[in-house]
Amino acid sequence: MPRVKRGPKRAAARKRVLKQTEGFFLTKSKLYRAAQEALEKALKYAYTGRRLKKRDFRALWITRINAGCRAHDMSYSKFMGGLKAAGVDLNRKMLSEIAIQDDEAFASLVATAKSAIAAKAA
């Protein structure tokens, strides 16, 4: 089998890795092996972080909605159950924005949820 010397391809691959690790600490931005390991770890953390961000934002929206509900003497779970019973399809992101920006509109949503709960109980 003939011998293969990978000159340009290997150099390009190493250059690409070192370019991506610019700004990393000490040898992680200068030496290929350290840079490659740091890059793999960084990419893994970035992938995980993109998923955790969704979880964190959902928790934030729920906290904001809960605070708005408590201001109108209602719990978050009863509010969401009432909205579902009333057939109101607003996602948590929009509900949290309404709770922050427009108190009157949120109060009307709470009233809608309360009336739906009352109608369901009767």
> Is residue 80 over pLDDT 90?
yes
Res 113: pLDDT: 97
Residues 2-35: tens digit of each pLDDT? 998 888 999 999 999 999 999 999 999 999 999 9
The CATH number given to whatever domain includes residue 96 is: 1.10.1900.20
Side-chain-facing half-sphere of 10: CA atoms under 13 Å: 5
Q: Give a yes or no: residue 4 inside a domain.
A: no
Number of domains in the chain: 1
- Specify if 1 maps to a domain: no
Q: What is the pLDDT of residues 34-45, one digit of tens each?
A: 999 999 999 999
63 is in which domain, residue-wise? 11-121
At 121, the pLDDT band (50, 70, 90 cuts) reads: confident
51 part of a folded domain: yes
What's the pLDDT at 1? Answer: 86
Is residue 112 in a domain?
Answer: yes
103 contacts 64 by C-beta, under 8 angstroms:
no
* Assigned domain for 2 exists: no
Residue 6 counted as domain residue: no
Q: How far is CA 21 from the centre of its chain?
A: 25
